[in-house]
Amino acid sequence: MSWFESYFKLKDHNTTVSQEVFAGITTFMAISYLIFVVPGMLADGGMPKDAVVGGTILVTIAITLLMGLWAKYPVGVAPGLGITAFFAYYVCGPAGYTWQAGLGAVFISGIVFFLLTVTRIRQYIVNAVPMDLKLAIVVGIGSFIALIGLKNGGIVVKDPSTFVTLGDITKPEVLLFIFGFFFTGTLMVLKFRAAMLLGIIVTTILGIACGVTHLPDGSWISFDLPDVAGTFMQLDLKGALSHGLISIIFTLTMVDLFDNMGVLIGLTRKCGFMRPDGEIKNLDKAFITDSVGTMFSAVVGTTTATSYLESAAGVAAGGRTGLTALVTALCFVLALFFIPLVGIVPSYATSPVLVIVGALMMQEVVNIRFDRLEVAIPAFLTIVVMPFTFNIATGFGFGFISYALLHVLTGRWREVTLFMYLIAGCFVINFVMRA
């Protein structure tokens, strides 16, 4: 234990080995669904599913380990859901490109991420963002996480007249979600250390007891490890440099840059990594990890690797160092042998945690200077556009563009950094290209 104490500086971060272990397991429980969701989407894009399953788990293990042992962030890294959906249902769909060319585009975007990081441009971009917008990003991500939790829990459903409405609260899954929410919330109020993890486990067990969730048939253990031969080194770099894919590379770069930036800003502030002036320690290492993960993902045969929003569950459970990520990665190693059992953890058990995490991140709203309209309007747009468009990067775009534009229109353009204007301009270009 002394090695963990000294390497991760647990005392300096006011944490313990047991607390980090609980947090790592909690993060794993919150993001383990990606084992099934990501391969399913990529299979819809024409990729061999068995190979993609292996690639997804391998990338998650390797890059989460790197994030924990090198960057020392309590963050799980895996192929991103938003990017995966864009890849599977647009690049390999209406756009008409092969998945091999798409992987080539992912690899090139990873190179761009890496160059932006090692030249410190990526860090400058983060440091150029005003503190009020950074706080708005945290709050916006919190509202986005909460919406995901409410949607997955069946509380919020689509409606043709009002867009969204209240779901059927008499359904067993929704009732279990409600139980999990108040059970976990009560434990949180009582400051029970493993509240989120226990909430997930108890809600899952209750679902099994009620017959809503069923244990897997046959053996719970499988030693037939997935094979990545079908996708390994299949990327088409030449095809990725075609005219049409240049815009896709740009989109991949922009979306992942700001999606990942938003997640890391939110999580690092909760961990205490953000200094009073808004700078974030070790952020360059986290960004390099992200870029290396993206290139590795393309080589193995999956999409852009990114820090997962759901890591906030582990942070809220007490995760403060890379030991949390190390434990999460080890859980994914075990998951290789227990895929049938991992698959029984239902969304109604993990969704309550996401809503509670959203509430915790919403606390930062009190620190935004809403008494200044040139700040309040962009901050408000950042917060509300994320959940309303179901896209973090779009919230960034609305917030940054409005911040820059309002300062220009009111004669305060000197208060805005050059990087902010460049970021706003890039988002304008991105929105035009997406139109």
List per-residue pLDDT tens for the chain, 435 residues long: 577 778 888 887 788 888 889 889 988 887 877 887 788 778 878 888 778 888 888 999 999 999 999 988 888 999 887 677 778 877 787 777 888 888 988 898 889 888 888 887 776 776 777 888 888 887 887 888 888 889 888 999 988 888 899 989 999 999 999 999 999 999 989 987 668 878 888 998 999 999 888 877 766 676 777 777 788 888 888 777 776 677 677 767 766 777 677 777 777 776 677 766 666 777 778 888 888 999 999 999 888 888 887 788 888 888 888 899 999 999 999 888 876 666 677 888 888 888 888 888 888 888 899 998 989 999 999 999 988 887 777 888 899 899 999 999 998 888 888 888 988 888 888 788 766
pLDDT attached to residue 343? 64
Is the distance from CB of 173 to CB of 374 less than 8 angstroms?
no
Alpha helices, DSSP H only, in 157-210?
172-189, 195-209
Q: How many residues would you count in the chain?
A: 435
User: What is the Cα–Cα distance from 358 to 62, expressed in whole angstroms?
Assistant: 28
3-class SS of residue 163: strand
Whether 116 and 72 have beta carbons less than 8 Å apart is answered as: no
Distances (CA, A) of 361 to 38, 244, 356: 26, 39, 9
User: What's the confidence (pLDDT) of residue 394?
Assistant: 81
Q: At what angle do helices 347-362 and 195-209 cross, to 10 degrees?
A: 150
The predicted pLDDT at position 277 comes to 65
Question: If we measure between CA atoms, which residue out of 30, 112, 95, 97 comes closest to residue 64?
Answer: 30
Q: What distance lies between CA 297 and its chain's CA centroid?
A: 16
At 56, the amino acid letter reads T
Q: What is the DSSP letter of 321?
A: S
Alpha-carbon distance values, 304 to 135, 206, 256 (Å): 26, 36, 8
**Distance (Å) of CA 331 to CA 237, 244, 328, 336:** 34, 40, 5, 9
Closest C-alpha to 249, from 77, 73, 115, 396: 115
Structure tokens at 209: 């007891």
Q: What is the structure's pLDDT at 87?
A: 81
Q: What pLDDT is recorded for position 379?
A: 94
pLDDT at 175: 95
> DSSP assignment of 246-307, as one string?
HHHHHHHHHHHHHHHHHHHHHHHHHHT-B-TTS-BTTHHHHHHHHHHHHHHHHHHT---EEE
Instruction: List, in sequence order, every beta strand (DSSP E) within 103-197.
Output: 156-159, 163-166
Q: Which residues contact 48 (CB under 8 A, 6 or more apart)?
A: 230, 231
